[in-house]
Amino acid sequence: MQLGIVGLPNAGKSTLFNLVSGAAAPTGAYPFTTVDSNVAEVAVPDSRLEPVACAVGSASAVPASVRIVDIAGLVRGASRGEGLGNRFLSYIREVDAIAHVVRAFERSDVSHSEGDLNPVRDVHLVEQELMIADAETLARRMGSLQKKAQSGDEDAREELTELRALADRVDAGEYLASSDIDDSLRSRARQLHLLTIRPVIYVINVDEEIIAGSEVHKLHELVAPVEELAEERGMTPLQICAGLEEELSALDDEERDIFRAEMGLERDGRDRFLRAAHEVLGLITYFTGNEKETRARSLPRGATAIEAAEKIHSDIAAGFIRADVIGAEDLVRLGSRAHARRQGLLRSEGRDYVVRDGDVIEVHFRD
């Protein structure tokens, strides 16, 4: 699954990408420094992994990962092909969720495509372009169904009814991912690859000078409206100073901790972003392990034991007998699977067991 980083030009998208990926995507003071998308497979930090590996007796620990895509900046009129609009929109259709980078920093040497700083306006501008593109997608599809529906095709009539319901929501300015549409409409929106059905993290990219200084009221004025908008929509807001975090990532652990303490910064911004990315993609983490390695693996929330086995290897899923399961916290507390078994906390589950976040799973299977 993929998370796409989007936003207006010069909002800090590529800086955030460089921070989380350790890559060196180009950044600049003018729009469209990023033209083609940059892609990276990035490890997701999980404090449970090393203790689980220790309890299992593994020689190494391998984290789960997510794919992050840095997409070219969108400008007003992107839905009509302005800037790199068509390419921008096509890249968004390929991702499963969005990290929307919102500029909340002032830099005289970094231009703003709208001329001034207004984070909420910028959010609405980007989302309006996505809604216009969705409205056009829906209109094209409805147009192609008209003749079939008029000739009595029941499937076409049903689809047309659902498409009109979605179009009404989009025309009313609703972001579909946070709309109260039913599962059938949500499924239809995904089939059409509508842009606004993708869940969002609002990454509010704040000013290093404001963080380091005493202008807390200014920071609040810029950030609070975006956080309120995110809360209204049931989305995740994440405040981060991408430029500063990228600089800190080059320091060793001790220096970084000292600097954070002096500035009163929250825990590592990179870790916070990647955990939020994992969550917004609808993923949980389960663990598998043996003497060689313990591996954290990603799985869609609600997936079953047989799907978890398939993630390990198709042959394991084909020969599935049962899964021995224990929560990571219990395993670490007890110190080993053997102790867990003696305590009666190692459960045997069938193929339809719904995997929980933090489960440590050992699959038994026929060769």
Q: What percentage of the chain exceeds 90 in pLDDT?
A: 60
- Do residue 273 and residue 333 come from a single domain? no
- Of 246, 280, 314, the one marking the end of a domain is 280
Going by their DSSP bridges, the two strands 236-240 and 2-6 should be labelled as: unpaired
DSSP string of 95-125, one letter each residue: -SEEEEEEEE---TTS--TTSS--HHHHHHH
Say yes or no: 210 and 267 in one domain: yes
The answer to which of 42-56, 96-110, 274-288 has the lowest mean pLDDT is 96-110
Do both 8 and 121 map to the same domain? yes
Question: Is 285 domain-assigned?
Answer: no
242 and 321 together in one domain: no
Q: Indicate whether 274 and 327 sit together in one domain.
A: no
Same domain for 146 and 20: yes
What's the domain count of the chain?
Answer: 2
DSSP 355: P
N-term to C-term CA, the chain: 30
- Please, are residues 69 and 5 in contact by the beta-carbon 8 Å criterion? yes
pLDDT class for 88, splitting at 50, 70, 90? low
Instruction: Report if residue 293 sits inside a domain.
Output: no
List beta partners, residue 322. Answer: 364
Position 25 confidence tier, pLDDT thresholds 50, 70, 90: very low
What SS3 class is residue 47? coil
pLDDT tens per residue, range 108-136:
777 777 778 899 999 999 999 899 989 99
Please give the Cα distance from 282 to 294 (Å, whole number): 22
Of 220, 247, 280, which residue is a domain's last?
Answer: 280
311 and 276 assigned to the same domain: no
Whole-model pTM?
A: 0.83
Average pLDDT for 303-331: 96
Residues 322 and 258 in one domain: no
Same domain, 312 and 181: no
Range of the domain at 311: 302-365
CATH of the domain at 357: 3.10.20.30
Give the model confidence (pLDDT) of 64-83 as tens digits: 999 999 887 676 655 555 44
Task: Supply the angle between the helices 269-280 and 13-21 in degrees, to the nearest 10.
Answer: 100
Question: Is 296 domain-assigned?
Answer: no
> Across the chain, how many H-helices and E-strands are there?
15, 12
Convert the pLDDT of each residue in 32-47 to its tens digit: 444 457 889 999 999 9
- Burial label for 1, CB within 10 Å (0-12, 13-18, 19+), is middle
Where does a domain end: 213, 247, 280?
Answer: 280
Contact between 101 and 12 under an 8 Å Cβ cutoff? The reply is: yes
Which letter does DSSP use for residue 4 in this model? E
DSSP string, 273-322: HHHHHHHHTTEEEEEEE-SSEEEEEEEETT-BHHHHHHHH-HHHHHTEEE
Helix (H) or strand (E) holding 126: helix 119-150
Q: Is the pLDDT of residue 289 over 60?
A: yes
What 3-state DSSP class applies to 91?
helix
Same domain for 123 and 164, yes or no, is yes
Type of residue found at 334: L
Cross-strand bridge partners of residue 2: 67
